[in-house]
């Protein structure tokens, strides 16, 4: 029966996709000699937030997630990022597969808040693999076996890889999801005052607030 191991070799943005995608290059190795016909691979990706340090600016930006820095000993924990899957084609020995991970820029999502709150460095990721492997047994018959959840791979994702991907899909932009009634109020304000763009609408409201708090 195949004895599979996994290693993440690199990561990068997938260009020209409909929505943001990160592609992780996964080295799949079979310690046994039989031919692997295919692997239906599933993966759970976790962010190991405790495995890096944070400067004062990052601590301030991440307060919405983890609270005051003096509480981070209790609140800073590993976070589930997402699940992904891939089909690995036939190979013998080892092969390189691509695991594509859809990414969102919705700032209501905790993972997006985390990435956006960082200023530099790397993000420690843990890939936990499972799925099924299809292989040819010694008698020539096709066999299928499960991949145990104890198969893991660690990877340190450069923060700039994430930011460069978002710059490709949303250059000089950010997405903000609003409750529908709030959006409708904002839309009425924009229309009533003849403001041409959403950016100018928000700027006008912010200027009003700033003028109101000035002594």
- DSSP-derived secondary structure for 68-80: SGGGHHHH---EE
Percent of the chain with pLDDT over 90: 61
- Tell me the pLDDT tens digit for each residue of 74-132: 999 999 999 999 999 999 999 999 999 999 888 878 999 999 999 999 999 999 999 99
> How confident is the model at residue 131, as a pLDDT?
95
> Domain 4-169 is of which CATH architecture?
Sandwich (2.60)
Q: Is the pLDDT of residue 36 over 80?
A: yes
* Confidence (pLDDT) at 214: 58
The tokens for 126 are 């843990």
Q: What does the alpha-carbon distance between residue 23 and residue 54 come to, in Å, rounded to a whole number?
A: 26
Confidence at 55, pLDDT banded by 50, 70, 90: very high
Task: Reply yes or no on whether the pLDDT at 1 is more than 60.
Answer: yes
Question: Can you tell me the distance from the alpha carbon of 192 to that of 142, in angstroms, rounded to the nearest whole number?
Answer: 69
Do the bridges between strand 122-136 and strand 4-13 make them parallel or antiparallel, or are there none, so unpaired?
A: unpaired
Binned at pLDDT 50, 70 and 90, residue 177 comes out as confident
Answer for the pair 107, 101: CB distance below 8 angstroms, yes or no: no
- Alpha-carbon distance of 22 to 186, in angstroms, equals 34
Lookup: tokens for 157: 């994702």
Lowest mean pLDDT among 18-22, 155-159, 187-191: 187-191
- Sole residue written with tokens 């690199």: 10
The Cα–Cα gap between 3 and 164 comes to 36
Average pLDDT over residues 35-54: 95
Q: Which of 29, 4, 45, 33 is nearest to 146 (CA)?
A: 4
Q: Is pLDDT of 215 > 80?
A: no
Angstrom distance (rounded) from CA 58 to CA 72: 13
Confidence of residue 213 (pLDDT cuts 50, 70, 90): low
The span from the CA of 138 to the CA of 93, in Å, is 16
């Amino acid at each position: 029966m195949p004895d599979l191991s996994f290693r993440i070799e690199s990561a990068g943005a997938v260009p020209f996709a409909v929505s943001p995608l990160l592609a992780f290059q996964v080295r799949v190795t079979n310690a046994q000699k039989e031919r692997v016909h295919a692997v239906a691979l599933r993966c759970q990706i976790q962010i190991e937030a405790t495995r890096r340090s944070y400067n004062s600016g990052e601590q301030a930006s991440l307060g919405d997630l983890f609270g005051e820095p003096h509480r981070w000993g209790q609140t800073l924990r590993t976070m589930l990022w997402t699940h992904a899957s891939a089909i690995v084609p036939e190979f013998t020995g080892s092969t390189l597969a691509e695991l594509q991970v859809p990414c969102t820029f919705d700032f209501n999502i905790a993972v997006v808040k985390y990435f956006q709150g960082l200023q530099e460095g790397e993000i420690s990721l843990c890939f936990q693999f499972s799925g099924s492997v299809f292989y040819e047994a010694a008698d020539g018959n096709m066999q299928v076996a499960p991949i145990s959840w104890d198969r893991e791979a660690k990877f340190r994702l450069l923060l700039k890889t994430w930011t460069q991907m978002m710059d490709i899909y949303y250059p000089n932009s950010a997405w903000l999801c609003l409750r529908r009634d709030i959006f409708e109020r904002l839309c009425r304000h924009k229309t009533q005052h003849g403001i041409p763009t959403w950016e100018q609408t928000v700027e006008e409201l912010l200027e009003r607030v700033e003028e109101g708090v000035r002594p």
